[in-house]
Amino acid sequence: MKLGFIGTGALTSAIVTGLKSVAKNPAPILLSPRSESISADLAARYPDVRVADDNQAVLDGCDTVMLGVRPQVAHEVLSGLRFRRDHHVVSLIATVSREEIAALAAPAECVTKALPMPMIARGQGATIICPPDRSMAALFGSLGKAIEVESSGEFDAMSVVTATYATYFKYLETIHAWLKGQGVPDDKGRDYIATLFKALAQAPDTKPDADFTHLAADYATRGGINEQVLRELTSRGMFEALAESLDGVHRRILAD
């Protein structure tokens, strides 16, 4: 595989870093020259990563091309390029449909959407891939987990999950702030919370057949303190409010 990237920003940088430092992927990589400091830095760090003269030179020098520009400029950038029929086009552009990319990348016949996350740089997290694509599942699977989905409906719904990260950290921050209010030193509270939640995050792996309700039930002993917090937050509508926010994000993704 000769891999090219059009758009060398935060996400491309994370993928290239992951491929070269975690997966030790031998595929040569060609980067578009915009964001000069990022592309030059990647080329300096890894011997088989080069910066092309322009976007067309990236396309001409690769067989697989990842599109990492922002949605606002996607149409303008792609419509000026000459794709080949045998290019494998992998769009990372979150809010532009596969059909739109396929039209812009014609006559390329193989067009895939992928949604990796920045933690891919450390070989962590999961990448959603649509439609199922063996070579991309292998590539992204070498950097965490690859989850292939059949339909754009499934892809769009799963992408809503990525809107919940900040809320997760706000949840941890609320616990941390409460501990500080009790006089617990900042670093000890942070260490304790981070270590406990890291262990909790592993529970689905240790019990692969248990759904999340069962995992919650494992901790919500009747009459116990976990049951108390769960019951109180449920009765205040916290989880209904979360589900409504997910609906709102979904509507926004579908409208884009």
Ligand X SMILES: NC(=O)c1ccc[n+]([C@@H]2O[C@H](COP(=O)([O-])OP(=O)(O)OC[C@H]3O[C@@H](n4cnc5c(N)ncnc54)[C@H](OP(=O)(O)O)[C@@H]3O)[C@@H](O)[C@H]2O)c1
Nearer to ligand X, 114 or 176 (CB): 114
CB of residue 25 to ligand X, shortest distance in Å: 19
CB of residue 93 to ligand X, shortest distance in Å: 4
Whole-Å CA distances, 171 to 87, 108, 197, 244: 44, 45, 11, 18
d(CA 39, CA 16): 10
Q: What is the dihedral of CA 40, 46, 119, 152, to 10 degrees?
A: 80
DSSP structural state of residue 232: H
Nearer to ligand X, 101 or 137 (CB): 101
CB of residue 67 to ligand X, shortest distance in Å: 8
Residues binding ligand X (CB under 6 A): 6-12, 32, 34-35, 55, 68-71, 73, 77, 92-94, 115, 117-118
CB of residue 126 to ligand X, shortest distance in Å: 12
Nearer to ligand X, 94 or 110 (CB): 94
Nearer to ligand X, 32 or 64 (CB): 32
Nearer to ligand X, 93 or 108 (CB): 93
Query: Which of 12, 1, 4 lies closest to 93, judged by CA?
Result: 12
Report which residue's Cβ sits closest to ligand X. 9
Nearer to ligand X, 69 or 137 (CB): 69
CB of residue 35 to ligand X, shortest distance in Å: 3
31 burial via Cβ count (<10 Å: 0-12, 13-18, 19+) = buried
Query: Which of 161, 158, 171 lies closest to 200, judged by CA?
Result: 171
DSSP structural state of residue 19: I
Nearer to ligand X, 35 or 64 (CB): 35
- List phi, psi (to 5°) of 235: -70, -25
Task: In the chain, count H helices and then E strands.
Answer: 13, 8
CB of residue 207 to ligand X, shortest distance in Å: 29
CB of residue 216 to ligand X, shortest distance in Å: 29
Rg (CA), the chain: 21
Give the helix/strand (H/E) hosting 110.
strand 110-115
